[in-house]
Amino acid sequence: MQPYVVNGKVYYPLPSALGYREVGYASWYGRAFHGRPTASGEPYNMYRFTAAHKTLPLGTYCLVENLENGKKTVVKINDRGPFVKRRIIDLSYAAARAIGMVGPGVAKVRVTALGESTTRTRAAFKHLPDLAHGRFYVQIGAFRDKANALRLRERLLKRFKTVKIRKRWTPKGTLYGVQVYAGTYIVAARKLEKSLERTGYPDSFIVSD
């Protein structure tokens, strides 16, 4: 929470996220930063729903709405940035995919703080985890009606051994994401993602536990 300097400019982190709401441009960062430490000490994981912000307290959860298509997602602030003029937030790859801005790279968004994490973020890690390995899934779709998610899951179980439904909170109610287990290697997850995109699921994207 101490002031810090980037490119000669001093930034003063906010003491609280209460009431924060801002409209501006979002960008995203991905593979080049995967596994590197963030400002919170956590390693950056491009497949988690996180983001970088210049002044919000680390651990703040934010609603990010793409004003160009209406898509929304919730992220946790665990890094600092983006230090580019007119950009107010830098999303992880997974979050950018969720609101449809990976292709364009930049989108006009509304960021609303929802609250701060009740658990203190660790300041540092003795060892960075091996982010090429883990438990990876490819999310194929998300539905407000659980019955639709269940129907898709039943169809997918004819092709895949493990298909799960994961609930995710949004301001308009719960979303039920349908996810296919891709294994413990990121290389396999990327292959499955591409395969699903080619076979009728163009909005597929990788997530991890």
Segment 123-161, tens digit of pLDDT: 323 333 444 567 888 989 889 899 999 999 999 999 999
Question: Do the domains 133-208 and 4-116 match in fold?
Answer: no
Quote the pLDDT of residue 92.
Answer: 95
Q: Bigger pLDDT: 43 or 2?
A: 43
Domain 133-208 has CATH 3.40.50.740: no
> What contacts 24+ positions apart, CB below 8 Å, involve 10-16?
11/54, 11/55, 11/80, 12/55, 13/55, 13/56, 13/57, 14/55, 14/56, 14/57, 15/57, 16/57, 16/116
* Residue 148 exposed, middle or buried by CB count within 10 Å (0-12, 13-18, 19+): middle
Question: Across the chain, what does the average pLDDT equal?
Answer: 85
Band of residue 209 on the pLDDT scale cut at 50, 70, 90: low
CATH code for residues 4-116: 2.40.40.10
Q: Could you tell me the residue ranges of all domains in the chain?
A: 4-116, 133-208
pTM over 0.75: no
pLDDT (average), residues 162-186 = 84
Q: Do residues 133 and 175 make contact, with C-beta atoms less than 8 angstroms apart? A: no
